[in-house]
Structure 1
């Protein structure tokens, strides 16, 4: 069961998200908060797997929450999906840098939000095209330290497997995940890095030194 905490200062948004998620098998909304400080206070007790986090709130905003969570032990840190009405360049990059797995406009279709929750529980991302484009452009302009910084640890694992020439089925067996989860990770990697296909991703992984060249050739 994926445990979800909804953090948004608009009651209608919170109730709408709860209604959608409560219809889904394997997902349980364990709480709602209208403020960032309150969310940080209840996370240790509720222990959500995923937090749906509004970016703009009175008091401590979404980036503030992400900064505070970044200072907690990784084992106690929930996956975070940012929901926002604003697609500002600096906010997108900073949210991803601080650990947000997905950054979704509030106009995102509900099924995409559900996909993002399921992906986040597995350490993956779901990015809307406009957000992905912003991230790619920011990396190209030097806004991130290096492109790999945009990937989650799990996405890096998948990228390393791609660099070894593995199929989705082989990656799933190696990393202990289903084929659909692997596909979600691969799609996120391509979007974040601005790559066209898995071949480009494999080459990129080799260029970044994720896998020694002789090991890739043996694979």
Structure 2
């Protein structure tokens, strides 16, 4: 990809220095991405966030501590303290409940570490634009992880909104949805906005989770 504007600023959070070094080397081959900071722990990340605010936090959920929830706790704190930062989980773990909990904690995307470079770069660009980004396995895991439907009436979605919702679940951008449905990107964005409003959520990832819980997908 070729940048036509200010590069997306990334903070890497992973407890393995060699992984961070490898990610930095790979990501900065894209002219539209710049790694501005690295952290190995929750505390180090939060301290860095007081001095510099990235556009995207690339986060491994499993950090080397006695707590299995440190990565999730960090995602939740960043989402609360720095809502402008898009959180993208990059991890080796594909546990169904972990994907759901990451979304609930504020993650806008979830990809596994064996994803190819192009897919990771696309995911970073997507979340930086406010889109959700899930690789196929993570999206499927999130759907499988939902077990109990919400005991409330389904929101009224138009047939077109249901079509858009199905494409949202596949992680497509507004532009891609527009192409699939033969409408403009602005129209697709309008439908997505209506879906978020009717589901009572604020992000595309939350919309997919909520819609799956309510058996709309």
Partner of 1:197: none
Aligned-residue offset at 1:173: 8.3
Closer, same or farther: CA 88–143 of 1 in aligned 2, 3 Å:
farther
Residues 144-181 of structure 1, C-alpha deviations (whole Å, 9 max, x = no match): 89999xxx9xx9xx6xx98xx88233337869xxxxxx
Match of 2:104 among 94, 97, 101: 97
Partner of 2:28: 22
CA RMSD of aligned residues (A): 3.7
d(CA) in 2 for partners of 1:91, 1:23: 30
Aligned-residue offset at 1:90: 1.6
Closer, same or farther: CA 136–109 of 1 in aligned 2, 3 Å:
same
State the aligned residue count: 172
d(CA) in 1 for partners of 2:80, 2:185: 35
Residues 39-77 of structure 1, C-alpha deviations (whole Å, 9 max, x = no match): 111113121000110111123621110121233253xx4
Match of 1:39 among 23, 34, 45: 45
**Residue 54 of structure 2 is aligned to residue 69 of structure 1:** no
Contact 1:3–1:29, Cα closer than 8 Å, also in 2:
yes
Partner of 1:82: 89
Tell me the TM-score normalised to structure 1 length.
Answer: 0.66
Contact 1:3–1:28, Cα closer than 8 Å, also in 2:
yes
Partner of 2:160: none
Provide structure 2 residue ranges, at least 5 long, that are not aligned to the other structure: 1-6, 156-167, 192-203
Tell me the TM-score normalised to structure 2 length.
Answer: 0.66
Closer, same or farther: CA 127–143 of 1 in aligned 2, 3 Å:
farther
Equivalences for residues 115-154 of structure 1 within 5 A: 115-139=122-146, 141-142=147-148
Structure with the largest fraction of helix: 1
Name the SS for the 2:88 alignment partner.
Answer: strand
Name the SS for the 1:57 alignment partner.
Answer: coil
Contact 1:127–1:191, Cα closer than 8 Å, also in 2:
no
Contact 2:73–2:105, Cα closer than 8 Å, also in 1:
no
